[in-house]
A and B are shown apart, each in its own frame.
With several copies, the nearest count.
Chain A
Amino acid sequence: MNLGHLSDLYRQLILDHAQHPHHRGQLATANQTVNLNNPTCGDVIELSVELKNDRVADIAFNGDGCSISQASASMMTDLVKGQPIAQVRAEIATFLEMLMNDPEVEGADELGDAAILATVVKFPARIKCATLAWKALEQALGEAQQHE
């Protein structure tokens, strides 16, 4: 059976992140938590974020989902941990633009491992899986702003 096409989606890097996701768990120091779900498939993410001095000082996630959503969360946490909030916001925007409109969006190369997820665009039904964690983070930062 020829599954060659599939390797576009399930690159080794994605599978590695999915099987051994980074920053899984809950943060004792979190000052923002967001639960978000993908109602189509039931994927759930619980994101906890510690914001300090205008930075994402620490971040972790829990929840249950397919390899794309797990890998995406893992890559995202790698990327944003320690970064200034303003930069994180820009990266979220770039990532969502990459997946929802333009796989070759400018700045994609600054997304770290997550840049590889541009490949998901070829599997439209899976885009929501890839964006779930990022939307949760967007929401966490949005709520943080409201509290200021």
Chain B
Amino acid sequence: MVKDIATARNDFPILSQQINGQPLTYLDNAATTQKPRSVIDALTHYYEFDNANIHRGVYTLAERATEQYEQVRQQVADFIHADRDEIVFTRGTTTSLNWIALGFGAQVLQPGDDIIITVMEHHSNLVPWQQVALQTGANLRYVELTADGELDLAQYRQLLSKKTKIVAFTHVSNVLGTINPVQLMTQLAHEVGAYVVVDGAQAVGHFPVDMTSLDCDFYAFSGHKVYGPTGVGVLYGKREWLKKMNPVEFGGEMINLVQREITDFKAAPEKFEAGTMPIAQVIGLGAALTYIQKIGWSTIETQERRVTAAAYQLLKEIPGVEIYGPEMGPHRSALVTFNLKGVHPHDLATVLDTQGVAVRAGHHCAQPLMQTLGVSATTRASFGLYNQLSDVKRLAAAVRAAKEFFQV
């Protein structure tokens, strides 16, 4: 069923609110998305009818909770074209990436090996590798940018060698909006025998993501960025690597047998899920994926492309605005990061806020990229399926007003 996108906004209670006397124009979707009524209702329903600890009880509630939780595992698997035992639930992308780095990376890396990451990584896919490199004696290599804000694939090819053990990069840059060629980069990495870890935080929810065609070894994303609750994320790993990967947290439910001196762990994915999991949040994530599917990919992609293109165009027309990242086109996802000459992003964001326009100003947890771009901060407008052309017009008008206010 394809829903009319113009009414999608009504599915999100928070969007009907006024901020500083203006309708809320929420353009910080790359930081976190808003939640549709159906997700909020799923959480409420869970707590009002089914709440119990999972995998533990033989009573009715426990069985219901367990079944729903495990159904979402299957749903996530289907959503990204994987198998259920390749889906591990975590707290979020950050936890997923840390577990991959610590539970798998630290195991396969030898002193002198190379880890390749890129200068456009979010700190969550950068600091863990930096730390694992320090710990194992591996070297961290960076893929640089081309002039138009894409990864320099020629340089990437040069970096790849027999010493490359791990290649970790983001599917979509949270600053530049660049969509990286995961399939090609994975293929090249596999040719030298390296494992590929993809940070999907900014990809999932914007377009379909298919593990079988991407063929990467690990993939991570967050529930709260795909219209789901905070507190839940996904770690995908190919079956054979999850088998090899060590659990990073230990506790109840992930064990077969605990004796005083030794413990026998369950198989994946259970061996990674220690203690009480974010049960309600997993169920909320299921409702979010259902919502996305109800709207439909082509509707979402068409709308986000239209809105992004309009933002790109309207901002570009404002004298003094500089936009970062690739031209509007197939390599740009649903965000536009920019600066207005003479106005610090923080000041700009404050002006926008008085107009009800919520954007993010700062380094976007990507300080090495900021250094590469030669700026200390930027302003980012990022879009979700509920954003409309009117939101973008409000954004552009507010930027123009700021320009006047600061007389630049």
Contact = CB atoms under 8 A, between A and B. Distances in A.
Interface of A: 1, 3, 5-6, 9-10, 15, 37, 39-44, 64-68, 123-126, 129
Interface stretch (B54-62, B177-185, B196-204, B279-287): B54-62
A40 B362 contact: yes
B376 A42 contact: yes
- Binding site of B, secondary structure by majority: helix, strand, loop or mixed? mixed
Given A10-B405, A41-B362, A66 B354 contact: no
11 contacts: A1-B355, A3-B351, A10-B406, A39-B255, A40-B55, A41-B361, A41-B362, A64-B376, A66-B345, A125-B63, A126-B346
Nearest to B355: A1
B355 A66 contact: no
A40 to B, nearest CB: 6
Contacts, number: 73
A20 to B, nearest CB: 13
B397 interface: yes
Given A3-B405, A126-B346, A126-B350, 12 more contacts: A1-B401, A3-B351, A5-B20, A6-B405, A37-B256, A39-B256, A39-B257, A41-B58, A41-B377, A123-B350, A125-B57, A125-B59
| Interface SS majority for chain A | mixed
B351 A66 contact: no
Nearest to B252: A39
A124 B63 contact: yes
Most chain A CB within 10 A, of B20, B347, B367, B397, is at: B347
Interface residues of B, number: 35
Contacts of A126: 58, 346, 350
Nearest to B361: A41
B327 interface: no
B354 A3 contact: yes
Contacts of A67: 344, 347, 406
Interface in B253-304: 253, 255-257, 266
Given A6-B405, A43-B376, A1 B346 contact: no
